[in-house]
Structures are given as structure tokens and as C-alpha cells.
């Protein structure tokens, strides 16, 4: 029961208090049973004092039970909080390549679906713990009445728990399969959402995507039905065990243990009493096993993130360049894409380049030529597989790559607009509004409370909004990946003939991926890539 071990490990200082209140609830419950049996056998003892003690015991039970629920739920949420923050920290510390290897589908599923499963089962775990103690103390009371009865009932309960756990193991296997199916289903839905426009141009493509989604949904439905079937047997089992217990007590004890009638009546009452906590414990196993599988998935994700973090060396805070860019040089730099089996499927390089401060370099080439990959290697997002990357003669390596990246502002083709100006929360509102006007976005969005009031814009407008953020950063190097691809002719001209020259005039280095050959004259150099290698380099005249 992985979740129980995890909670006990995480509880630490709270462990004693949780066990104490659960024990109090169990003892109080057992005392209520004892009191009811004593008063039923001796009605003359049911005086005011007995009533007071009965009420006090009930109050202790309520207090212990409520405290158990509260403490276990708080513990579960505290554990989930630590895991959420730990996962977020690991994601922040990993590198892009490692994050891409893990995949967004698994991260989203584990931090939403699986954590929701554990959170929803928190109060059930409290009920499970409380019922377990009630069951233990109830059995101890039965042992005080009749040891043969205790042995018989304990044996039957152990048998019942074994059957329940055996049935749950099949359910757990299905739950693990469902967890993997959810990831595949999420990937298919993301295919449809991200490729929605493309699917609209091919009915066959749309039908095939839909068919895959329906197939995955059917597999999920089948898994849920199998889980329900397995659980139905588990839910019926406590009743079966109760009837077996009653039958064993009634038919076996009088004949073989010579139990008298009065004791038999007490044992039947106790057996019926034990049924309640046994049912709660058996039902609580559902929460325990579901939560255990969910935690297995979460821990598997953490394991993958740990591997990614280990590959990303500890980044130091020193900056050997003091925020000043020099000549950016590559010598036989190579990057190889890993495939799903850990082998390398695509190679960029070897490439040797020298990019001077204030130089404007355009990277051109067909689709799949390696332009965007080269940008990610040059900006330190992808670790090079070979060769050297130097700035001002200083080798860029894991220990200083964070400082190197702090000198670069980049807008990739798949850029993201944050809800706030993170990293620039002290930006001057007047400067932001001036850039909004320069980018032709006045009336489309505004800047209030350190955030843009509207981000649901066209792709070209969103890219211009991202440009505002990069200009506010005012870093030595600007990287643009197909910036003008989704701009109208006016802003395309603005980019090449106004923005790029303005950045160059301020001494900024500009590296841009482009296909606009009519604007090649705006670059100092045009480097053509083909199949991951430099095909040609052309020096252009300054505009």
C-alpha cells in the first residue's frame, strides 16, 4: 500500500497526533459497544451516571473521528502541495531537450488528473484509518468475551481481506493501463486541436484522427467498466463476510466452543458491530489502491524529471561576460536529435561560424534544413552534441549557460505570451504604451496592472506583442524565428527596414530565420542551410 507508506513518511511530526486521535476514536467506539452490551444485559445499571458516561464516550468518538478526518485530509493536501511545488521546481531546473523528452501530456495528466484522484480520496483515507482502529479494538473486546470466537472471527476477517486485496490487484492493473491510455488520448486530442486547420482541408485526415480518438475513448470506457466490475465484487464482499461470520458464530461456537446463550447474544451483537468498520476498511482499500496508482504515476514523472535535471548541470550565477556580448563563435558545432529509442535521428552540423557584435545575420533554407534547431543550439536551449560555442573567447558550458542566455532575447515560431511581464514587473508603463503604439496595437490591447489587458489576438499581433517584451529587456542579442511570416506587408517592411536597422544601430546582434529574399539586403550576411549544414554564405551590402 504505497500511499500509506508515503503518507507515514511525509507525516513526520504529525504522525503521532494522527495515530492518537484515530486511536481515541477506536477506543471510544469500542467502549460504546461495551456499554451497550453491559446495559442490555443489566437494565438496572442504566442510570444517569451511565447515561453521562455514554454521552461523554460518544463525544470523544465524534471528536476523535472529526479530528482524524481533518488531519488526514490536511496531511494529504500538504503532501500534494509539496509534490506540486517540487515538480514545478524540477521543470524550472531542467533544460528544453529534457522537457521535450518527458512530454507535456504526461506532465498535465500527472499534475491534474492523478493529483485530483489523491485529493478526492483524502477524507476516505481518514475514514479508512479510523475504521481500522475501531475494528482492532472491537476484536479485542470480542477476545475478552470469548477467545474461540475471537480466533474464528479474526480468521474469517483475514480471509475476507485477502480476497478483497486479491480482487483489487486486478483493478490496480486496469488502473495502470487507464493511466497510459489517458496520455495517448490526450495526445490525440492535442493533435486535433493543434492541427484543426489542417484537418479541415482533408476529410480523410479528419476522419482518421476522429477514428483514433473514438478508439482511445472506447478503450478508456472499457477500462472504466472493468474497474467498476472489479470494484462491484469488492463492495459485495463485506456483506458476504458478515453473513459468513454470523453463520460461523451461530452454527459453530455453540456446538464446539460450548458458548452459553447470553454470551452468544453478545457475540452476535459484536459481530454485527464489527461489520461496519470492516466494510469501511474494505471500501477504504478502493481509495488506498487508487491513490497508490496515482502516486506511482506522479513518482514516475518525478523520476523522469530528475533524470532531466541531472543531465542539466547545476548552473552557477557568475557571469564571465558581465552582460556584454563579444564575438559569437562556433567551431564544428553539432547537434543530434534523439529518437524514442535514444538513438540519433537528425543531425545539424558540423558548423563553424563567427558572428560579430552588432552584425545582422539571416538564416535561410528549406523546411527541415535545421534553421530553428541551430537557433536553439546557438541560444543555449539545446546542448550541443559536439564542437565548441564561445563568446568573447569564453567557452559556453553548463556552468555558465544561464548567464549566456541572459544576454539573449528570442521570439521562436512557437513563442508563448505570459499573462504578466514576468522578469520585468517593474517596467515603466509609459514605455510599454509607447511600444504598443509603435507596434500598431493601440485599440487592440492596453497595459494595466503590469499585464496586457488582451492577449487573444491574431498570430501576427501576438508576435508583435511578444516583440514589445523583448525590446523592454534590451539585451545584446536578438533572435527572431520567422518573425515576418504572419505579418501584413506593412509590418513586414517595418521589421526589415525599421526594427532590424534600429537594433543594429544600437549595437545589437540580430540573428533571424527568414524566407523573405526581397529583404536579404537588410542583412550583413545571409547563411543558407541545407540538411543541417551550411550550403552557402553571402555577404550583403549595408542598407
Grid coordinates representing 56 are 461523554
More confident residue, 13 or 60: 60
More confident residue, 439 or 265: 439
In this structure, which CATH number among 3.30.420.40, 2.20.25.570, 3.40.50.300, 3.40.50.1860 belongs to the domain 328-539?
3.40.50.300
Q: Whose CA is closest to 378, among 264, 511, 266?
A: 511
Lowest mean pLDDT among 25-29, 33-37, 136-140, 154-158: 33-37
Q: Phi/psi of residue 379, each to 5°?
A: -90, 0
Q: What average pLDDT does this structure show over 195-213?
A: 66
Grid coordinates representing 283 are 471500501
Q: Rounded to whole angstroms, how far apart are CA atoms 458 and 463?
A: 9
Strands 447-448 and 386-391, how do they pair? unpaired
pLDDT at 543: 44
Q: Could you tell me the CA-to-CA distances from 268 to 149, 277, 283, 384, 486 in Å, in that order?
A: 10, 15, 23, 75, 80
Tell me if the pTM is above 0.75: no
Grid coordinates representing 530 are 541545407
Q: Whose CA is closest to 184, among 227, 218, 224, 213?
A: 213
Q: Which regions of the chain carry the CATH code 1.20.1560.10?
A: 2-311
Q: Whose CA is closest to 514, among 335, 371, 352, 411?
A: 371
What residues does 361 pair with on adjacent strands? 511, 525
DSSP 497: I
Q: In the 3-class helix/strand/coil scheme, how is 192-244 assigned residue by residue?
A: HHHCHHHHHCCHHHHHHHHHHHHHHHHHHHHHHHHHHHHHHHHHHHHHHHHHH
Q: What is the pLDDT of residues 43-69, one digit of tens each?
A: 666 667 777 777 887 888 778 777 777
For residue 130, with 0-12 CB atoms within 10 Å meaning exposed, 13-18 middle and 19 or more buried, which class applies? buried
Is 395 in a helix, a strand, or coil?
strand
Q: DSSP string of 278-293?
A: HHHHHHHHHHHHHHHH
Q: Rounded to whole angstroms, how far apart are CA atoms 347 and 328?
A: 21
Q: Whose CA is closest to 376, among 349, 354, 357?
A: 349
Q: Which regions of the chain carry the CATH code 3.40.50.300?
A: 328-539
Residue 451 is inside which H or E element, if any?
strand 451-452
Q: What average pLDDT does the chain have?
A: 75
Alpha helices in 44-146 (DSSP H): 48-93, 96-102, 104-109, 115-120, 122-145
Q: Rounded to whole angstroms, how far apart are CA atoms 411 and 59?
A: 64
Q: What is the pLDDT of residues 98-154, one digit of tens each?
A: 776 777 777 777 777 677 777 766 666 667 777 777 777 777 877 887 788 788 778
Q: What average pLDDT does this structure show over 299-304?
A: 78
In this structure, which CATH number among 1.20.140.150, 1.10.238.10, 3.10.180.10, 1.20.1560.10 belongs to the domain 2-311?
1.20.1560.10
Percent of the chain predicted with pLDDT > 70: 75
Amino acid at each position: 500500500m504505497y500511499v500509506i507508506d508515503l503518507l507515514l513518511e511525509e507525516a513526520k511530526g504529525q504522525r503521532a497526533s494522527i495515530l492518537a486521535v484515530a486511536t481515541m476514536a477506536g477506543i471510544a467506539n469500542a467502549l460504546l459497544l461495551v456499554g451497550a452490551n453491559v446495559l442490555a444485559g443489566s437494565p438496572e445499571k442504566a442510570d444517569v451516571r451511565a447515561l453521562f458516561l455514554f454521552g461523554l464516550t460518544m463525544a470523544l468518538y465524534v471528536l476523535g473521528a472529526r479530528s482524524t478526518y481533518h488531519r488526514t485530509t490536511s496531511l494529504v493536501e500538504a503532501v500534494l502541495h509539496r509534490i506540486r511545488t517540487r515538480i514545478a521546481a524540477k521543470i524550472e531546473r531542467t533544460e528544453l531537450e529534457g522537457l521535450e523528452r518527458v512530454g507535456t501530456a504526461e506532465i498535465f495528466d500527472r499534475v491534474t488528473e492523478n493529483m485530483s484522484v489523491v485529493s478526492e480520496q483524502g477524507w476516505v483515507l481518514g475514514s479508512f484509518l479510523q475504521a481500522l482502529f475501531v475494528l482492532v479494538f472491537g476484536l479485542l473486546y470480542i477476545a475478552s468475551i470469548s477467545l474461540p470466537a475471537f480466533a474464528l472471527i479474526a480468521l474469517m476477517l483475514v480471509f475476507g481481506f485477502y480476497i478483497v486485496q486479491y480482487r483489487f490487484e486486478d483493478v490496480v492493473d486496469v488502473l495502470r493501463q487507464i493511466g497510459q491510455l489517458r496520455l495517448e488520448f490526450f495526445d490525440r486530442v492535442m493533435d486535433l486541436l493543434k492541427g484543426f486547420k489542417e484537418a479541415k482541408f482533408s476529410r480523410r485526415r479528419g476522419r482518421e484522427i476522429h477514428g483514433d480518438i473514438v478508439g482511445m475513448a472506447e478503450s478508456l470506457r472499457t477500462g472504466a467498466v472493468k474497474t467498476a466490475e472489479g470494484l462491484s465484487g469488492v463492495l459485495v464482499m463485506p456483506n458476504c463476510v458478515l453473513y459468513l461470520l454470523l453463520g460461523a458464530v451461530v452454527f459453530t461456537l455453540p456446538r464446539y466452543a460450548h458458548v452459553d446463550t447470553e454470551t452468544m447474544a453478545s457475540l452476535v451483537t459484536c459481530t454485527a458491530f464489527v461489520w461496519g468498520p470492516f466494510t469501511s476498511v474494505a471500501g477504504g482499500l478502493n481509495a488506498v489502491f487508487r491513490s497508490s496508482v496515482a502516486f506511482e504515476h506522479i513518482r514516475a514523472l518525478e523520476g523522469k524529471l530528475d533524470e532531466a535535471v541531472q543531465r542539466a548541470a547545476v548552473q552557477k550565477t557568475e557571469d564571465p561576460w558581465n552582460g556584454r556580448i563579444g564575438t559569437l563563435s562556433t567551431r564544428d558545432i553539432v547537434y543530434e536529435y534523439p529518437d524514442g529509442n535514444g538513438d540519433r535521428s537528425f543531425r545539424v552540423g558540423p558548423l563553424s561560424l563567427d558572428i560579430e557584435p552588432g552584425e545582422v545575420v539571416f538564416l535561410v533554407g528549406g523546411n527541415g534544413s535545421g534553421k530553428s534547431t541551430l537557433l536553439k543550439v546557438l541560444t543555449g536551449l539545446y546542448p550541443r552534441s559536439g564542437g565548441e560555442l564561445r563568446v568573447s573567447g569564453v567557452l559556453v558550458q553548463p556552468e555558465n549557460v544561464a548567464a549566456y542566455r541572459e544576454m539573449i532575447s528570442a521570439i521562436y515560431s512557437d513563442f508563448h505570451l505570459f499573462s504578466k511581464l514576468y522578469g520585468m514587473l517593474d517596467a515603466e508603463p509609459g514605455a510599454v504604451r509607447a511600444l504598443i503604439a509603435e507596434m500598431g496595437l493601440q485599440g487592440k490591447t492596453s497595459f494595466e496592472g503590469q499585464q496586457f489587458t488582451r492577449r487573444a489576438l491574431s498570430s501576427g499581433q501576438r508576435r508583435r506583442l511578444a516583440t514589445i517584451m523583448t525590446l523592454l529587456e534590451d539585451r545584446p542579442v536578438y533572435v527572431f524565428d520567422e518573425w515576418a511570416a504572419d505579418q501584413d506587408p506593412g509590418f513586414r517592411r517595418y521589421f526589415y527596414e525599421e526594427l532590424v536597422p534600429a537594433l543594429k544601430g544600437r549595437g545589437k546582434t540580430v540573428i533571424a530565420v527568414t524566407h523573405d529574399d526581397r529583404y536579404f539586403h537588410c542583412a550583413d550576411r545571409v547563411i543558407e542551410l541545407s540538411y543541417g549544414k551550411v550550403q552557402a554564405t553571402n555577404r550583403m551590402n549595408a542598407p
